Amino acid sequence: MRNTNLTPTQLKWIWNIWHDSVGPKVKVPFFKMVDLMNVAARRNGYRDAGEVWREELEIQNLEETVERLYSEIEPLYKYLHAVVRHKLHKKYGSDQIDLKGPIPTHLLGNMWGQDWSSLMNILNVDNIKDELNDKIKSRNATMEQMVLEAEDFYVSMGFPKMTEKFWKYSVFEKKGNVTFCHGTAANLFSDGDFRMHVCGEPNLYGFYVIHHEMGHIEYYMAYEKQPPMFQDGTNTAFHESIGDAIMHGVMTPQHLQRLSLLDDEKLFNNDTELYLILLQALEKIPEMPFALLIDKYRWKAFRNEIPFQQANKIYWDMNKRYRGVVPPEKRDERFFDIGAKFHVPDGTPYIRYFLSGILQMDIFKSLCSYTLLGRNPINKLENRFLPLQRCDIYGSKRAGEQLRRVLSLGSSIHWSTALELITDHRQLTTQPFLEYYQPVFKWLEEYIQQHNVHIGW
């Protein structure tokens, strides 16, 4: 689905094959699971299992909080949606795209339409994603070498190296008859036994997954000395955000040049800088309403607000409302399209990824404030600092120490205390998220004005 050279018919075929074969099989077991989990939850004094899921995050009024946070991000999503729709219209025409309506999800370059980075090549900008992928491939590096590069980033900030058992037992690429390919970082709770299990490929996505999973492992290692009951993240959203905060440091022109993935002449090129942020915007911003939706749907299911006979209709109604996307064709109740997302049959909550989207930017911004150029203005007279998008945390022991100190406390502290120790504030804020993507917002705004693009659906 990432291949935008395919025709809409071919993309629809692929989308249908996956959703038709996976979703329906999940529907009955999903509702059975909801009932059983609710029985267990109620026996333990909860209203339903959704309440159990939300409790783990320890965020008061989580449902209202995430809605409020999303309302702050939504204008940015709507701008991105509007420009992408306009570009898709140019590519596919009015047959496929209604310039004022929702976007058919199979045209978004990802099976679930949650990551739009494959659409970089329809935006009429230098395709930095293809460039980076080509560079990564041309190096002929093994997955193990890429893991070493990720390790080097963490070590440069003073984090410990991966353990002997990590190198002995981890799986980095698909070998033989491997059927489980979902990226995982495992803590075996046994004397340095931390493992990474990914079916990585030498491309940008593989590089991201390695950094993400290594963030989990550095967290495991940091709290290994805590008593067993505190050997956990302060909450799952925090756990998810560490590797991604580091990855924002990897995606700077400076670090990509350090890895020989960016040519020297592009190091101070403003366009390259913008496209790197645009690429991350395409990956991360559509994920926000998607993550919100996946759990809002399941919280409703746990409250028995999703009748079996309307399960798919409600899913697509919510998709239209929150994401402005529709299925390639009408889907009836024979299908259960939410079931075609791994985390649904796997029974894994998803709102942590929404919260991680916000937390990772907050953590990244404060790590930046500990770096040399984050502490000192680049222009003293004007008191001008390096913009957040250019912040280079590689090699900053001070930033690393600040983060490690908090990670080493594991779940012995509340997440808001952990956040305060890193950022000096206890509340979730979208400010760093919006600051980071500000150049993209401006770029989208200009495009919208120039082409008189309709916003919303």
Annotated binding site for chloride: 352
Instruction: Give, in order, the Cα–Cα distances in Å from 281 to each of 249, 274, 302, 319, 437.
Output: 15, 10, 32, 20, 7
Closest CA to 246 of 217, 204, 215, 278: 215
List the binding residues: 212, 216, 240, 352
User: Which residues on neighbouring strands pair with residue 384, listed in sequence order?
Assistant: 379
Q: How many CB atoms lie within 10 A of CB 227?
A: 9
**Shortest Å distance, C-beta 185 to Zn ion:** 7
Identify which of residues 240 and 295 has a Cβ nearer to Zn ion in the complex: 240
**Shortest Å distance, C-beta 114 to Zn ion:** 15
Identify which of residues 105 and 411 has a Cβ nearer to Zn ion in the complex: 411
**Shortest Å distance, C-beta 346 to Zn ion:** 13
Angle between helices 397-407 and 351-370 in degrees, nearest 10: 140
Instruction: Give, in order, the Cα–Cα distances in Å from 373 to each of 276, 380, 396, 399, 449.
Output: 20, 12, 10, 12, 35
Instruction: Give, in order, the Cα–Cα distances in Å from 320 to each of 286, 340, 456, 457.
Output: 13, 18, 11, 8
Identify which of residues 240 and 362 has a Cβ nearer to Zn ion in the complex: 240
Q: Which of 333, 343, 435, 454 is catalytic?
A: 343
* Three-state DSSP state, 371: coil
Sequence letter at residue 421 = L
List the binding residues for Zn(2+): 212, 216, 240
Radius of gyration of the chain (CA): 22
Closest residue to Zn ion: CB criterion: 240
**Shortest Å distance, C-beta 353 to Zn ion:** 8
408-423 per-residue burial string, b: 16 or more CB within 10 A, e: under 16: ebbbbeebbebbebbb
User: What gap in Å lies between CA 456 and CA 77, rounded to an integer?
Assistant: 10
**Shortest Å distance, C-beta 211 to Zn ion:** 11
**Shortest Å distance, C-beta 212 to Zn ion:** 6
Cβ(246)–Cβ(153) below 8 Å: yes
Is 74 part of the annotated catalytic residue set? no
Angle between helices 128-138 and 270-284 in degrees, nearest 10: 90
Contacting positions for Zn ion (CB under 5 A): 240
C-alpha of 182 from chain center: 14
Cβ(247)–Cβ(255) below 8 Å: no
Is 173 part of the annotated catalytic residue set? no
Contacts of 335 (CB under 8 A, 6+ apart): 19, 20, 23, 24, 312
Q: How many CB atoms lie within 10 A of CB 9?
A: 10
Instruction: Give, in order, the Cα–Cα distances in Å from 376 to each of 248, 250, 380.
Output: 20, 21, 8
Identify which of residues 242 and 292 has a Cβ nearer to Zn ion in the complex: 242
DSSP-derived secondary structure letter, 224: T
Identify which of residues 51 and 213 has a Cβ nearer to Zn ion in the complex: 213
The tally of CA atoms less than 13 A away on the side-chain side of residue 152 is 11
Please name the residue that has the structure tokens 């709507």. 78
**Shortest Å distance, C-beta 210 to Zn ion:** 12
Q: Which of 213, 273, 283, 287 is catalytic?
A: 213
**Shortest Å distance, C-beta 240 to Zn ion:** 5
Residues annotated as catalytic are: 213, 343
